[in-house]
Amino acid sequence: TVLVGTVIVSTSATEEATRPAFNEKLAQLVRAKADAGAHVRLVDMSALTPADLSDALHPNDNGFSKMADAFHAGIRAADQAGWISAPVAVGGPVRSGISGKCLDVNAGSSANGTAAQIWSCNGTGAQVWTARADGTLRALGKCLDALGGGTANGTKAVIWDCNGGANQVWQAYQGGYRNPVSGRCL
């Protein structure tokens, strides 16, 4: 899916002399691509006025806000047309701040309560983690879990059947992950 924005208004007479024709050609190109089946949509920036510029060519905060609204409407329209799908979860290692170390499931065991540990990166399935849309980090079909719902420093990180608990939610934070309820980092 591609969203193509028209060129915004300008206070430069030279720019304004060519802008309407350029935007019309752009609209024709987008229509031709869309008619050929491409998922492409024109985002009309005509709501911007010279009052929305910080100089002859660049928007001010209000102009950027209008542009964001226009692109947001374009994204919504593309989604309603079925052009946008949910992201595909792709797994990989969660690297530690310690060089050459990764988050690892002890001994590659998928048993509930198996410790998550920092181990030498080795590319095994025990180190393939997937960050899911529900906020979970998953490996070996299980969720990373703050044991017993603990929120204190030193709470063990383990894998457990995914159960929707707040102790299984992890957010990307400063190059790592943190549980938003406890505020504790891995």
Domains of the chain, residue spans: 2-81, 92-178
Residue 145 near residue 167 (C-beta atoms within 8 A): yes
Token readout for 33 is: 């691509």
Average pLDDT over residues 32-60: 97
CA atoms within 13 A on the CB side of 162: 15
The pLDDT of residue 86 is: 74
What is the average per-residue pLDDT within 14-42?
A: 97
Name the amino acid, one letter, at 97: G
pLDDT at position 85 is: 82
How would you label 48-63 residue by residue, b for 16+ Cβ within 10 Å and e otherwise? beeebbeeeeebeeeb
The Cα–Cα gap between 172 and 162 comes to 19
pLDDT over 70, % of the chain:
99
Q: Which residues contact 88 (CB under 8 A, 6 or more apart)?
A: none
Three-state secondary structure call for residue 31: helix
Considering just the CA atoms, what is the radius of gyration of the chain in Å? 24
pLDDT at position 89, please?
72
Task: Tell me how far CA of residue 23 lies from CA of 36, 74, 75, in angstroms.
Answer: 20, 17, 20
> Tens of pLDDT along 101-141?
999 999 999 999 999 999 999 999 999 999 998 999 999 99
Q: Quick one: CA torsion of 96, 100, 104, 107, rounded to 10 degrees? A: -150
**Tens of pLDDT, residues 49-99:** 999 999 999 999 999 999 999 999 999 999 999 998 877 778 999 998 888
Alpha-helical segments (H) within the chain:
13-35, 61-80
pTM of the model: 0.56
In contact, 59 and 67? CB cutoff 8 Å: yes
Which CATH architecture best describes the domain 92-178? Trefoil (2.80)
157, 186 contact by CB (below 8 A): yes
pLDDT at 90: 81
Each as own residue / partner, the long-range contacts of residues 92-100 (CB below 8 Å, 24 or more positions apart, any chain) are 92/128, 92/129, 93/121, 93/123, 93/127, 93/128, 93/129, 94/127, 94/129, 94/137, 94/176, 94/177, 94/186, 95/121, 97/175, 97/176
